[in-house]
Amino acid sequence: MEGLEGKVAIVTGGGGGIGRAICLRLAQEGCIVGVFDIRGDVADETVRQVEAAGGVAHASVTDITDLDAVKAGVAAFEAVAGPTDILVNNAGYSKFVDFLDTGPELWHQMVSINLMGPIHMTHTVLTGMSERSTGVILNIASDAGRVGSSGESVYSACKGGVLALTKTLAREHARQGIRVNAVCPGPTDTPLFHSYKDAGERGKKVFESISRMFPLRRIGKPEDLPGAVTFLVSDDAAFITGQILSVSGGLTMHD
């Protein structure tokens, strides 16, 4: 991809399946990668894999639900790597449960991670981007935010909010040359998705049947996402902003 060599990129949730795959691909393209994750051990493992492949990465144990922690984490990373050129808001969390079986504790957790987390990261990083009039933000949302997802009501609401945030910020900062886009994965073979098997009989049935719902006849893999992400943050997509791209094996098709 064009224009990624030497760029400084932050990926939240960089220790997880999709996040790690994105970190590895961005590093392969020549980016200096900040692996932001609340779990230090998995962030360190991503850094190890990046370095083993000849790339450059730095781990940052950061709780994205805490604005002060985000500010400190970004400042510490930028002190080492330089100003952030690319932000990938990837970190997320879901739990398969019907809405009426949920309560305030789960609602708060979902909103804190899936909506306020990207808001905290974006406000912090975008402040610097705006001062420099350059930068790219890529939000990993979900097709749950476009069409809904039974058993993921509040998660879907949060991802819908991320999509609205994407388009609004794309409009607000277009004149500065700052681009903001989103990628929406469908169900993807990650540890989080496998947790549905433990969500009672209904969750187990959903897990077992979902691969048959894809027109491409397989569930997504973490490695299916980095190509789309890397394209949208590269100069090859220099004229693309405010757009939502589903990477879902045809599960959700839009006009």
Question: Catalytic site residue 155?
Answer: yes
- Euclidean distance between CA atoms 94 and 63, whole angstroms: 17
The strand pair at 56-61 and 86-89 is best described as: unpaired
Query: Is residue 143 a contact partner of residue 184, using CB atoms and an 8 Å limit?
Result: yes
**Sheet order of strands, 86-89 included:** 56-61, 32-37, 8-12, 86-89, 136-140, 179-185, 244-247
User: How many other β-carbons are positioned within 10 Å of the β-carbon of residue 205?
Assistant: 12
What number of helices (H) and strands (E) belong to the chain? 10, 7
Q: In terms of Cα–Cα distance, which of 96, 126, 97, 93 is closest to 112?
A: 93
Query: Catalytic pick from 96, 155, 193, 196?
Result: 155
Distance CA(103)–CA(108), nearest Å, equals: 9
State the residue for tokens 């894999």: 49
Instruction: Give me 43's structure tokens.
Output: 């962030």
25 vs 225: CA distance, rounded Å:
10
Query: How far apart (Å, rounded) are the C-alpha atoms in residues 156 and 161?
Result: 9
Q: Supply the residues annotated as catalytic.
A: 155
